[in-house]
């Protein structure tokens, strides 16, 4: 009887957990918490460095036509004493290109690059200041990496001109698009976000961007940092589609030479 009692309690707890998750909170309950995490990322994240691996590919009919692999050190710095719209800035130091040391002062070069995946997409979609330019909808529950998470669908409002897409080459365009975000129920942090750009700076084709996040402890505080940024651009072609693929992976986050690792 004792073992059955404990089994019954365990099943009851699992059932209560499922019922709790199945009753998704309303958007007005979720959105302020998500927006606060984005604000913390932009304003409270300590200066850090991490390892970055970039794979830049040119695709021809879905086949890799050319590929460049770049290893670099990625830096995030807060400019707390400066009045900036974006006090958090990013930079990198290239360590190798296709396994060879870079030429001194060598710029970032390759078949295809996407700028702003580390922080800009999250800020575009879920910062409080941009809320008036988006429509959001709670879409229920899904499983991602074996965990049950909340799902939010979103899209830019028709005709919005305030949010600008900034390409790595400096090209700007008003953001128009739609996407999906997976939200961790415990912390209300974004686990993954996907954005489909309806008008990328390259006028032809389709641009799809996805970013995966995981918790990292820096200076005793947990932040959800990018693990992987993936961008794919496809340009229509009568015979076979042309395109580019950009994959950036991040690991080994540090502050003041103190190493931290993702908690899976």
- Residues whose CB falls within 8 Å of the CB of residue 162, separated by 6 or more in sequence, listed in order: 130, 133, 174
Write out pLDDT tens, residues 178-228.
999 999 999 999 999 999 988 765 556 788 999 999 999 988 889 999 999
User: Residue 113 pLDDT more than 60?
Assistant: yes
The Cα 248–Cα 200 span in angstroms is: 19
Q: Domain limits of the chain?
A: 25-259
| Per-residue pLDDT at 8 | 42
This prediction's pTM? 0.83
Give SS3 for 170: coil
* CATH of the domain spanning 25-259: 2.50.20
| Per-residue pLDDT at 4 | 37
The Cα 13–Cα 184 span in angstroms is: 19
Mean residue pLDDT of the chain comes to: 82
> Please, what's the b/e burial string for 241-253 (b: 16 or more CB within 10 A of its CB; e: otherwise)?
ebbbbbbbebeeb
Contact 38, 126 (CB under 8 A): yes
DSSP 85-107: S--EEEEEEEEEETTBPPPTTPP
């Amino acid at each position: 009887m004792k073992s059955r009692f404990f089994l019954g309690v365990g099943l009851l707890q699992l059932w209560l957990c499922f019922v709790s998750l199945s009753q998704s909170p309303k958007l007005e309950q979720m959105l302020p918490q998500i927006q606060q995490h984005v604000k913390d990322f932009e304003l409270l994240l300590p200066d850090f460095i991490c390892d970055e691996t970039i794979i830049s590919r040119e695709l021809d009919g879905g086949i890799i036509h050319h590929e460049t692999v770049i290893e670099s050190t990625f830096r995030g710095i807060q400019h707390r004493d400066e009045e900036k719209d974006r006090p958090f800035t990013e930079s990198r130091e290239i360590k190798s290109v296709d396994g060879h040391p870079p030429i001194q002062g060598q710029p970032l070069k390759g078949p295809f690059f996407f700028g702003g995946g580390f922080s800009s997409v999250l800020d575009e979609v879920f910062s409080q200041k941009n809320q008036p330019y988006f429509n959001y909808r709670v879409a229920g529950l899904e499983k991602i990496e074996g965990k049950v998470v909340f799902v939010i669908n979103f899209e830019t409002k028709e005709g919005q001109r305030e949010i600008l897409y900034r390409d790595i080459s400096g090209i700007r365009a008003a953001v128009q698009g739609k996407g999906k975000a997976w939200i961790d129920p415990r912390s209300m942090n974004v686990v993954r976000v996907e954005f489909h750009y309806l008008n990328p700076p390259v006028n032809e084709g389709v641009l799809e961007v996805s970013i995966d996040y995981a918790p990292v402890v820096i200076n005793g505080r947990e932040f959800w940092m990018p693990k992987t940024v993936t961008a794919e651009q496809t340009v229509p072609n009568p015979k076979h589609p042309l395109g580019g693929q950009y994959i950036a992976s991040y690991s080994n986050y540090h502050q003041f030479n103190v190493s931290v690792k993702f908690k899976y």
